[in-house]
Amino acid sequence: MRQPAATTPLVQLHNVSYRYPSPGADEGSLALSEINLSLQQGEFVAILGANGSGKSTLARHLNALLTPSSGTVLVQGLDSANPANHWEIRRLVGMVFQNPDNQMVATVVDEDIAFGPENLGLPREEIVSRVQEALSMVGMSGYASHAPHLLSGGQKQRIAIAGAIAMKPLLLVCDEATAMLDPAGRQEVLDCFVKLHQLGMGIILITHRMSEALLADRVLLMREGKLVSSGTSREILCQVELLRSLGLDAPAMAEIAHRLAQEGLLPQAAYLTISELVQAVVATP
């Protein structure tokens, strides 16, 4: 059941910059620069940017896999710079990566999902309950005794998601989690994210696919380690020229609408679906 949004942000980044360590005497490259960002509990946010824009680096700051070179990251008030807070931060903010095979730690599905709760020292009954609930939430209840390596890519990724949500996080960060999947597997995983969001979990989706960004409540654009724009999916994804300047392709309908508007055939270009575009064309004198 969806919980009401908290008034205090779940995650707050204040002037966060990050340099990757350099093997030489010189300072490492600046991967994030002066990031200020607040994430509310229950938000669905997509982060877009070209390769090297800092998306994955930002994602890893949300659950203390990386900590800032300067600035502050607070997760439910816990400062990520304090190593004593890392365990709780990583429980509050789960993470799913690109390759599902790299996230498996056991040879049986239910044992894999139980790994996190076991490390919390939970009673057996609670672990079993969490595993069953997590499998149900990702639509994989019938696969508890299966071997992960025999599953499809989409099924593996849903098992990885189940392992993360068995920790009862408030936020799930998904770093290009559909990139290695075929269309069917990708849709399975996206449907899972939508369901989790409807149940009240926050979702951060790092992606380069505009169709995935359309699912989000809010879209952030990044370039060269900086946040350059933020808004609703419609506000951001209809800005064809801005997306082009960042090396991104606009959604197909937004691109068509933009060209029609340039030719004077539409009064504006803020259309993202076929039905919207058709209705606008029909209504235009």
pLDDT tens readout for residues 274-285:
777 777 777 776
Mean of pLDDT values over 136-155: 90
Mean of pLDDT values over 111-134: 91
Sketch the domain layout of the chain as residue ranges. 11-250
Better-predicted residue by pLDDT, 61 or 2: 61
Q: Taking the CB of residue 140, how many other CB atoms lie within 10 A of it?
A: 21
Per residue in 221-263, pLDDT (tens digit) is 999 999 999 999 888 988 888 999 998 888 888 888 888 877 7
The residues that bridge with 218 in the sheet, in sequence order, are 45
pTM of the model: 0.86
Structure tokens given for 185: 């597997």
Q: Give the CATH fold of the 11-250 domain.
A: Rossmann fold (3.40.50)
- Average pLDDT of the chain, as a whole number: 88
Angstrom distance (rounded) from CA 220 to CA 222: 7
> Cβ neighbours of residue 180 under 8 Å, at least 6 residues apart?
98, 99, 100, 153
Structure tokens given for 243: 């997306």
Statement: residue 22 has pLDDT above 80: no
CA distances for 212 relative to 80, 179, 190, angstroms: 29, 11, 8
Statement: residue 196 has pLDDT above 60: yes
Structure tokens given for 275: 């039905």
